[in-house]
């Protein structure tokens, strides 16, 4: 059997002296990002038994071709029972490494840094894919062969009425899950990823330990802020020594629950300080999700609505932050960086709408020189097209 070979990498251009902060390279430990644009983890709910497939390759490849500096996979479950849905990506066994390694290699060949987020869904595990309702599994899901499995959480309380009742984790269960994160991180490195993110947001397991709305334990993993942070901090303590010292470690948080008596921005600053002390390099600042859908929160939504969280954590904890949330145009992204509100700009759904957003942002901020950043397979066509259109417009 002949070996499958990746297509040759395009010639990758560079800007001699970027004028914008968005296109200035960024060093994180031993990794150099070609720019400050990050593709956020975006679940596709299209895996089979946790295995990445052609859809995942095509989905992620387009963002590297499109010029992003750092490209995250969607959340990869550290255990089969830690998946959100039957369609979630996983990295809980060695069999799942190979298709992810192919993706990571392609991203790197296109000049992007390959990154992966790893997670356990906790009490939000075993639910519907979004297009089937985004709620508890029902009879229609069972008819499709998607049956519920037992789930766990810090406290035996469901997400809401009608949702599965989780089993409260005991100390042995907590240790098992933490070791699964470590083992998954090691697989991620074997797959060729050069940045790793621990998912601590959106109501999944780690966030549910942090939030007083979901954690009502009375042992050392609950109670006051220090107790509720213990699970998250232990994850960082366990994973950091087993993730290469030259590679960055990210941690995604919900900076606020957006609900009365919930997790607050002051709590997030305290957590960020403690994570920094344990070797975390970047705090990825999202919000909400402790109940309902992944990003549900009583936070008013508008362009850049989560940027203030990244700014406050950056100032208060002295750690690099990643801003995300309705960052829609290059000037807006540049302004966030210029104001010192974040170190990285993450885009998600905007990248789904326009995978070439980074390259178009470069043209907007850097001018004609930015054509050098386009893959030569596209750039030589498009630069001539742009000049031709300009001549035609000027002739009128």
Give 167-221 as a DSSP string. Answer: EEP-HHHHHHHHHHHHHHHHHHHHTT-SEEEEEE-TTSHHHHHH-TTT----STT
Q: Residue 193 and residue 197: Cα distance in Å, rounded?
A: 11
Tell me if 304 sits within 8 A of 324, measured CB to CB.
Answer: no
- How far, in whole angstroms, is CA 99 from its chain's centroid? 19
Q: Residue 22 and residue 56: Cα distance in Å, rounded?
A: 27
Query: Taking the model in full, what pTM does it have?
Result: 0.94
**Residues comprising the chain, all counted:** 396
The structure tokens listed for 303 are 């362009």
Burial class (CB in 10 A: 0-12, 13-18, 19+), 224: exposed
Q: pLDDT tens digits, the chain, 396 residues: what are they?
A: 334 455 555 556 788 889 999 999 999 999 999 999 999 999 999 999 999 999 999 999 999 999 999 999 999 999 999 999 999 999 999 999 999 999 999 999 999 999 999 999 999 999 999 999 999 999 999 999 999 999 999 999 999 999 999 999 999 999 999 999 999 999 999 999 999 999 999 999 999 999 999 999 999 999 999 999 999 999 999 999 999 999 999 999 999 999 889 999 999 999 999 999 999 999 999 999 998 766 555 577 899 999 999 999 999 999 999 999 999 999 999 999 999 999 999 999 999 999 999 999 999 999 999 999 999 999 889 989 988 998 898 754
Residue 58, φ and ψ in degrees, nearest 5: -65, -40
Hey, where are the domains in the chain?
A: 26-355
Q: Residue 332 and residue 326: Cα distance in Å, rounded?
A: 10
Q: Residue 81 and residue 92: Cα distance in Å, rounded?
A: 10
Q: Residue 216 and residue 366: Cα distance in Å, rounded?
A: 52
Q: Residue 255 and residue 132: Cα distance in Å, rounded?
A: 29
Residue 70, φ and ψ in degrees, nearest 5: -135, 125
What is the CB neighbour count within 10 angstroms for residue 30?
A: 11
Q: Which CATH superfamily is domain 26-355 in?
A: Aldolase class I (3.20.20.70)
The structure tokens listed for 271 are 């957590």
The structure tokens listed for 236 are 């960082």
Residue 381, φ and ψ in degrees, nearest 5: -70, -50
List Cα–Cα distances, 372 to 62, 64, 194, in angstroms: 18, 15, 25
* Beta-bridge partners for 75: 117
- CA 5, 11, 14, 20 dihedral sign is negative
Residues noted as catalytic:
204
The structure tokens listed for 225 are 């802020």
3-state class of 378 per DSSP?
helix
- Return the H-helix or E-strand segment holding 82: none
What is the CB neighbour count within 10 angstroms for residue 134?
A: 15
């Amino acid at each position: 059997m002949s070996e499958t070979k990746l297509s040759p990498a395009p010639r990758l251009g560079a800007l001699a002296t970027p004028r914008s902060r968005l296109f200035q390279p960024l060093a994180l430990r031993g990794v150099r990002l070609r720019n400050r644009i990050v593709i956020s983890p975006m679940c596709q709910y299209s895996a089979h038994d946790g295995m990445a497939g052609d859809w995942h390759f095509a989905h992620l490849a387009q963002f590297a071709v499109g010029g992003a500096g750092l490209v995250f996979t969607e959340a990869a479950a550290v255990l089969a029972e830690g998946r959100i849905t039957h369609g979630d990506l996983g990295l809980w066994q060695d069999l799942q490494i190979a298709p992810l390694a192919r993706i990571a290699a392609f991203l790197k060949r296109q000049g992007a840094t390959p990154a992966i987020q790893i997670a356990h869904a906790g009490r939000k595990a075993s639910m519907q894919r979004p297009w089937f309702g985004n709620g508890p599994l029902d009879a229609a899901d069972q008819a499709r062969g998607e049956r519920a499995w037992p789930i766990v959480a810090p406290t035996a309380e469901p997400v809401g009425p009608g949702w599965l009742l989780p089993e409260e984790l005991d100390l042995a269960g907590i240790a098992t899950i933490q070791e699964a994160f470590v083992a998954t991180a090691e697989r991620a490195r074997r797959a060729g990823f050069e940045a790793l993110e621990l998912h601590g947001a959106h109501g999944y397991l780690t966030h549910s330990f942090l939030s007083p709305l979901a954690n009502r334990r009375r042992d050392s993993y609950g109670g006051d802020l220090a107790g509720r942070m213990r699970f998250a901090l232990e994850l960082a303590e366990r994973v950091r020594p087993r993730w290469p010292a030259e590679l960055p470690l990210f941690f995604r948080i919900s900076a606020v629950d957006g609900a009365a008596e919930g997790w607050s921005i002051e709590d997030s600053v305290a957590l960020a300080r403690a994570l920094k002390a344990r070797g975390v390099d970047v705090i990825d600042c999202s919000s909400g999700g402790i109940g309902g859908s992944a990003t549900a929160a009583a936070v008013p939504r508008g362009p850049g609505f989560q940027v203030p969280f990244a700014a406050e954590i950056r100032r208060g904890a002295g750690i690099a932050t990643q801003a995300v949330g309705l960052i829609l145009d290059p000037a807006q992204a540049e302004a966030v960086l210029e104001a010192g509100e974040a170190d990285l700009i993450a885009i998600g759904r905007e990248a789904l709408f326009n995978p070439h957003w980074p390259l178009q942002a470069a043209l907007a901020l850097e001018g004609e020189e930015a054509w050098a950043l386009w893959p030569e397979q596209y750039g030589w066509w498009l630069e001539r097209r742009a000049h031709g259109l300009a001549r035609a417009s000027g002739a009128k």
